[in-house]
Amino acid sequence: MPPRSGVKSRLQQHAATRIVLPSVGAEEQMRVLLISANTETISMPTLPLGFACVAAATQNAGHEVALLNLMFEGDPKVGIRTSIEDVRPEVIGISVRNIDDQNMLRPRFLLASVKEVIASCRSFSHAPIILGGAGYSIFPGSALGYLRADIGIQGEGEIVFPLLVDRIGKGGELSDLPGIHLAGQLALTDISSCLSFPRKRESTSLSTDVGPRLRGGDVRFSSYQVAVVRASRKPPLRYFEKNLDKLPLPEPNLWIPPGASKRKLWVPVQSRRGCPLDCTFCSTSAIEGRAIRRRSPTRVVNWLKQLRKTGCRNFNFVDNVFNLPPDYAKTLCRQVIQAGLGLHLWCLIYPKWIDAELVELMGRAGCRQISFGFESGSDEMLRSLNKRFDRKEVSAVSRMFAEAGIERMGFLLLGGPGETKDSVEESLSFADSLNLETLKITVGLRIYPQTPLARTAVAEGVVKAEDDLLFPQFYLQPELRDWLPERVAAYRASRPWVN
């Protein structure tokens, strides 16, 4: 069923935030509203690339999709109400990007605003609410419980979300879909649970035995009934597509707001997913897995050509490590150069496996800035963090980019296991020697589940094994707790390029 006739005009008036995609035809076409709940800029406004990729995949599966990006919505509740009235969604998907700001000294928990988004959706619609996104995938069970949504997808959504919507529409089981989490359950697995949505039942109460969010039968779906068998096995396997060329890339008008070029927004692009480097504190493998999976350079460049037609020229490669694999990075740069697009690129690099040829190619392709988390100037601390490089390699890589005229933003991460006053002073002195354009210093390490840092924190009594790490907890070497914040503040005070 198409939305009411008022949709088009309203969307034209609010083109920056609300877009409706025409469906491509399906037996059980569903009306889907996707909401990007992130409104935090932190370092800069972020356009929702992953959210747009899921929208494109859902449209390609034959469903009618509407998008709402709350980043540019003046009053989120008004935007939500208008979109729900226009679309009358049968499924609502909400993207959760950030859990907190990773700031130990002044932490900000960011899910409270997402909880308000979900409450607004509940007040205007009976549609089931499905969570996904990078932040959600780190904490699939606890985030689902805190936010009081119905279902969550851990991992990539381009394949699983359209299948989930399709099965909701047909009343099929969801138990064989990877990465599915249900409110009130530890996990759904392919052998230990049954979850189905019978099609088109009118105003049917939910089962009263599906956990705290749904207990009591006080929440109703106008068109669906949930039947659940409680699961208590291992978390479900996530799905990671090996060949990223099989996944759709979103059209520019789907997610890039009008006037983006005038606002000089950095448009995220992604050519690879996954990271095998296993830094002790990092949550990337929970989001994208360890294996590096890639799109063909030709497809990435053709996509950049489309994006360039919007007038935007600032593009941020959000690949975890732009320079891995090196041969792929070089091939991609050569094709960007050949396309002659006049881009300004910002890339995240790992300070190893970089040679002069790659730096030269990156500069010719339009790279204006790199970010690199060298994290420490102490070789002992680098080993503690499981970094594969040493300070000599960091210096050499930094110098190559400086000589190429490419600005460098470095990151220091201080206070981890084994940190001492001497190693801190060594890191600060080393950072000075690099003569960076920008340096960002983080005091204390955010503890993420299923990481070596989390295991260390449990072993040392910093956190308990049963602690819910959804609510920010940090590791800071105990003897540095009083001294380190003051030392970093004094260091920053005389260096305006340090944040």
Q: What is the spatial distance between Cα 66 and Cα 64, in angstroms, rounded to a whole number? A: 7
pLDDT at 263: 73
- For residue 325, whether the previous peptide bond is cis, meaning omega lies within 30 degrees of 0, is yes
Q: What is the spatial distance between Cα 99 and Cα 137, in angstroms, rounded to a whole number? A: 10
pLDDT at 262: 67
Q: What angle do the packed helices 76-87 and 111-124 form, to 10 degrees?
A: 40
Q: 77 CB contacts (<8 Å, ≥6 apart)?
A: 116, 120
pLDDT at 232: 36
Q: 215 CB contacts (<8 Å, ≥6 apart)?
A: 184, 208, 209
pLDDT at 26: 52
Q: What is the spatial distance between Cα 349 and Cα 372, in angstroms, rounded to a whole number? A: 5
Q: Can you tell me which residue has the tokens 């933003």?
A: 409
Q: Can you tell me which residue has the tokens 């007038």?
A: 311
Q: How far apart are the first and last CA of the chain?
A: 51
Please state whether beta strands 407-414 and 314-317 pair in parallel, antiparallel, or not at all (unpaired): unpaired
Query: Token pair for residue 220?
Result: 């109703």
pLDDT at 260: 75
pLDDT at 172: 80
Q: Can you tell me which residue has the tokens 């206070």?
A: 415
Q: What angle do the packed helices 140-147 and 111-124 form, to 10 degrees?
A: 50
pLDDT at 171: 85
Domains, the chain: 6-228 (3.40.50.280), 259-493 (3.20.20.70)
Q: Which of 66, 60, 46 is nearest to 270 (CA)?
A: 46
Q: What is the spatial distance between Cα 430 and Cα 479, in angstroms, rounded to a whole number? A: 22
pTM of the predicted structure, to 2 decimals: 0.84
Helix (H) or strand (E) holding 152: strand 151-153
Q: What angle do the packed helices 160-170 and 49-60 form, to 10 degrees?
A: 40
Mean pLDDT by 10 residues, the chain (499 residues): 32 41 63 93 81 96 95 90 97 95 92 96 96 95 94 94 93 82 56 30 26 26 31 59 95 85 85 96 92 97 96 95 98 98 97 98 98 97 98 98 98 98 98 98 96 97 95 96 97 96
Q: What angle do the packed helices 421-434 and 483-493 form, to 10 degrees?
A: 20
Q: 380 CB contacts (<8 Å, ≥6 apart)?
A: 418, 423
